[in-house]
Amino acid sequence: MKIKKNIATSENGFIFNPATGDSFSANAMASAILLAIKSGASAIEIKQDILQKYEVNAEQLDRDWEDWIIQLKEANLLEFESNNGN
Amino acid sequence: MATNYSGLCIGVTGLNANDNPGPGVAVIRALKAGFGSNIRVIGLSYESLEPGIYMRDLVDKTYQIPYPTAGTVALKERLAYIHDQENLNVIIPNFDAELHNFIKIAAELNNIGIKTFLPSLEQLRRRDKSNLFEFGQKNGLEVPADQKLYSVTDLQKAADELGFPLVIKGKFYDAHVAYNMESALKAFHQLETVWGYPVIAQQHIKGIEINVAALGDGEGNNVSIVPMRKLYITEKGKAWAGVTIEDEALMSLANKFAEATNWKGSYELEIIRDTDDKLFILEINPRFPAWIYLAVAAGQNQPAALVKMALGEIIAASVKYETGKMFIRHSWDEVVDIADFQKMSAFGEL
């Protein structure tokens, strides 16, 4: 999974898609994940990091992750669709 | 700030910075940004209440000019008088409805030393609203289906064939989305009264509204292209806020248009991107858009480039501009003395 390379993200959670002019506001967790994805971290690495830092079980995280991916797809921010279940 | 262009005298129309804004004020702002404050800007107005007349930090002097319906002789005479007073170097017309006359007298203006950089009458005709669908078909550009309306019978036929909603458009300006026959009829009568025939009924396409400001060199190339996504749209369909975007498909579309027409001068593509990502051209305006200062802020000063080209300079194509640059339009009460309004109304000069 990759965020489109031209997508601009800021540390305070503002996301701008220069191809469409769409902009979004992400909460602190979402913007941290986006920055991690942009820096090249894999979904597995990001999930492991979240499991270590926060009180959340793996099943709940997977469900939230799937919701998050759907939102990214709807917002047209992903480079290509994931094919490894991430 | 003195530049090589200090003292240049440029006439600009379209000073009606109202809720259906003409591009003149934005064009002047661009010229000042490009050439510095030592140029002389001459406003060319049609009515005494065009706000740009009274923006004295932007416009040095304004002269009223005859309406396009008065014809080319009246326009030529008036411009000759203004030229005697001001020694104009360049004129930038900014209204669709006046272009026909300005193009017709462009050679004569050139003879007395006033440069323009305008399309030919044939180029103007090809992108006309009433010819746009055929133009699109011929050049492989997506344009919504439309029909020319000269009577209520034509409107009924268009409604039957294109279905509702329909976009009812004036020959030069204005468009209304009609969801039923009653509102279509109202728009038809209103538009034919103001702009004459034909009124145009266009298939309504749902999607994201994008405009592209571009400058053609007259030889099939664009020297500048800046696309803008509308973020806030008024009831009249005007962009009141927008942001620059990047999209190769939009650049290709503008290049295809320039290549197909050898367009000379400024133009604006009004585009809808539908849910299948298809780009439909709704209109092609033969002039700068009112939001042209956004292109300047994003790094491409199209009005300044046009003036240089009018003066005979060769301008290299510029492709770099900043995406994510926004404009947010606002209204502003310009306070003036009634004596200024009186002078403008009585003498046609201020």
User: Is residue A85 scored above 50 in pLDDT?
Assistant: no
Residue owning tokens 């976009």: B167
User: Is residue B43 scored above 90 in pLDDT?
Assistant: yes
Nearest CA in chain A to B277: A20
**Residue B135 identity:** F
CATH number at residue B104: 3.40.50.20
Say if residue B56 is in the same domain as residue B149.
no
Is there a contact between B245 and A8 if contact means CB atoms under 8 Å apart?
no
Is there a contact between A19 and B324 if contact means CB atoms under 8 Å apart?
no
Question: How buried is B179 (Cβ within 10 angstroms: 0-12 exposed, 13-18 middle, 19+ buried)?
Answer: exposed
Q: How far does Cα B81 stand from its chain's mean position?
A: 26
Question: pLDDT tens digit string along B215-227?
Answer: 999 999 999 999 9
Which of B154, B176, B203 is the last residue in one of the domains? Answer: B203
Question: What value of ipTM does the predicted structure carry?
Answer: 0.76
Say if residue B197 is in the same domain as residue B269.
no
Mean pLDDT (chain B, rounded)? 94
Work out the minimum CA distance from B319 to partner chain A, whole angstroms: 16
- Residue ranges of B 205-244 with Cβ closer than 8 A to chain A: 208, 210, 228-229, 231, 242-244
User: Is residue B69 scored above 60 in pLDDT?
Assistant: yes
Percent of residues, chain B, with pLDDT higher than 70: 99
Percent of residues, chain B, with pLDDT higher than 90: 89
At residue A83, the pLDDT reads 47
At residue A12, the pLDDT reads 82
Long-range contacts of residues B326-331, Cβ cutoff 8 Å, at least 24 apart: B326/B231, B326/B241, B326/B242, B326/B243, B326/B244, B326/B294, B327/B241, B327/B242, B327/B291, B327/B293, B327/B294, B327/B297, B328/B232, B328/B240, B328/B241, B329/B21, B329/B239, B329/B240, B329/B241, B329/B291, B331/B19
Domain count, chain B: 3
Note down the domain range covering B111: 9-116+333-347
Is there a contact between B246 and A21 if contact means CB atoms under 8 Å apart?
no
User: Is residue A81 scored above 80 in pLDDT?
Assistant: no
User: Is residue A80 scored above 70 in pLDDT?
Assistant: no
Say if residue B111 is in the same domain as residue B150.
no
User: Is residue B250 scored above 70 in pLDDT?
Assistant: yes
Say if residue B314 is in the same domain as residue B340.
no
Of residues B113 and A12, which shows the higher confidence score? B113
> What letter does residue B165 receive in the DSSP assignment?
S
CATH number at residue B180: 3.30.1490.20
Residue B153 banded pLDDT, cuts 50, 70, 90 = very high
Tell me the two tokens of residue B83. Answer: 């030229």
- Residue ranges of B 241-270 with Cβ closer than 8 A to chain A: 242-247
At residue B2, the pLDDT reads 56
Question: pLDDT tens digit string along B318-343?
Answer: 889 999 999 999 988 999 999 999 99
